[in-house]
Structure 1
Amino acid sequence: MISKDHQKGVGLIEVLVALVVLAIGVLGYVMLQMRALEATAESAQRVQAMNIARDLAERIRVNRDGWTFGTTPTSYLTEMSNASKQINNEDSKDCSIEFCSGAELADYDVDEIVTFAQNLGMSMNLMQCPKQSTSSTTNGRYCVYVAWGNTSATNDAGTTDCTNGASYNIKSTCVIMELYQ
């Protein structure tokens, strides 16, 4: 009689290999889900930032005394440059119940919008957009910057700045909306 030696433990090794392959697949799926959640959170932040910028743009367009055609939006630029002082400004006149001048309305608008943005963990800025050519002295465009996370709502060469001239910085988390006169 011929005796056959049976291999022992081969089934167990196959099961272990299958478990390793399954574990790698599950980890890949978990990573995809995490990336999907990150993308969802980022898109929600972008939508919120766009709504804030649009709100400021609409308020500026309504308040023509705060931004006269052919001139700089002095009232809004001044108020936004003092934006950190505008958060919950008790000295600001409540223009929702009282008559206000253009400058007072600009102060009220900036106070409301900056406070709302701050409550969402965002910072804001309003400045002249970068020039498209070196020959023009002014381009008549102003940019509303809304930034969140570690990004500052500024246009400079730093790594935490939103833009560096005419392009977004790598890994910046911000939205820019242009306003035209």
Structure 2
Amino acid sequence: MSGLNSQRGVGLVEVLVAVLLLSVAVLGFSALQMRAITATDESLVRTRSLTLVRNLAEVMRAYPEAYVTGSGATFTTVLPTIASAVPTVQAIATSIAIAEADSGDSVTIDGLIISINGANNCLSTGTTTDDDDNEIPNKLCSINQLAARDTLLVKKTALEEDIKLAVVSCPADATQQAIQQQMCIITAWNDTKALIDDTDTKACANSDGVYKIGSHCLISEAY
């Protein structure tokens, strides 16, 4: 009887070992779950970035002659053969920051203020009759101004998605700015900057185009 009494119930040591094993399993599962959530979020941001890249690349293809020069929010049309010329899309996507998603920010192109939702949004609501009695939409904006509006729309979407956007010359491409020149679109998120720079530790990549360790960004070529 004494032998049976000594084996009755569960000892404290056995309970502690069981709790320890359960805790390790739960912690491991929690860590795995967090990594899965992080990977899912990263994949979602990359998908949104690729959508922005495609949209901006289409704008660049649609307006190959949209060249401007200047800085800030005011630009003036110049010929693409001028060395200092910067394409409208590149200038606006990289330089013009929209403060708020619904702020309706604008940019001045050839003396006309172009906005996304304002009066000068380049959307024609009327028609004109040509010499052949055909009704055609009113031409409200030039190629530069249309390119500016479409680029502002892409910029606004990037802001809503909390993605930084920039258009730069691709590494090792020292050719002069020209129509249909190869350009690189950079999208960056988290604390990564949309830059190709050796000195900035938060830049997306080095000057040779190699991604920096731990960066959260994508570099895509566009023509």
TM-score w.r.t. length of structure 1:
0.82
SS for the counterpart of 2:212 is: coil
- Asked if the contact 2:98/2:156 (under 8 Å) is kept, the reply is no
Instruction: Report the AA paired with residue 167 of structure 1.
Output: V
Does residue 161 (structure 1) correspond to residue 198 (structure 2)? The answer is no
Using the TM superposition, name which of 93-102 and 24-33 deviates more.
Answer: 93-102
Does residue 35 (structure 1) correspond to residue 78 (structure 2)? The answer is no
Residue 96 of structure 1 is aligned with which of 105, 123, 138? 123
- Number of aligned residue pairs: give it: 173
Identity of aligned residues (%): 33
Question: What displacement does 1:10 show?
Answer: 6.0
Partner of 2:154: 113
Partner of 1:138: 175
- Asked if the contact 1:86/1:115 (under 8 Å) is kept, the reply is no
Using the TM superposition, name which of 158-167 and 72-81 deviates more.
Answer: 72-81
SS for the counterpart of 2:11 is: helix
- Aligned equivalents of 1:124 and 1:55: distance in 2? 12
Relative distance call for 1:106 and 1:3 in structure 2 (3 A) is closer
Instruction: Report the AA paired with residue 104 of structure 1.
Output: Q
- Asked if the contact 2:194/2:217 (under 8 Å) is kept, the reply is yes
Using the TM superposition, name which of 43-52 and 88-97 deviates more.
Answer: 88-97
Question: What displacement does 1:20 show?
Answer: 0.6
Question: What displacement does 1:154 show?
Answer: 0.8
Does residue 174 (structure 1) correspond to residue 198 (structure 2)? The answer is no
Partner of 1:14: 14
- Aligned equivalents of 1:80 and 1:21: distance in 2? 54
- Aligned equivalents of 1:58 and 1:169: distance in 2? 28
The structure richer in helix per residue is 1
Using the TM superposition, name which of 70-79 and 136-145 deviates more.
Answer: 70-79
- Aligned equivalents of 2:10 and 2:98: distance in 1? 73
SS for the counterpart of 1:171 is: coil
Using the TM superposition, name which of 143-152 and 74-83 deviates more.
Answer: 74-83
- Aligned equivalents of 2:148 and 2:99: distance in 1? 8
Does residue 79 (structure 1) correspond to residue 92 (structure 2)? The answer is yes
Instruction: Note the alpha carbon deviations across 1:114-144, whole angstroms, 9 max, x for none.
Output: 111112211111010001xxxx732942101
TM-score w.r.t. length of structure 2:
0.68
Question: What displacement does 1:65 show?
Answer: 2.8
- Aligned equivalents of 2:50 and 2:10: distance in 1? 60
The structure richer in strand per residue is 2
Cα RMSD of the aligned pairs, angstroms, is 2.7
Relative distance call for 1:96 and 1:176 in structure 2 (3 A) is farther
- Asked if the contact 1:86/1:114 (under 8 Å) is kept, the reply is no
- Aligned equivalents of 2:95 and 2:2: distance in 1? 93
Instruction: Note the alpha carbon deviations across 1:15-51, whole angstroms, 9 max, x for none.
Output: 2201211110111001101110011011101100110
Question: What displacement does 1:7 show?
Answer: 6.3
Instruction: Report the AA paired with residue 6 of structure 2.
Output: H
Q: Which runs of 5 or more residues in structure 1 are unaligned?
A: none
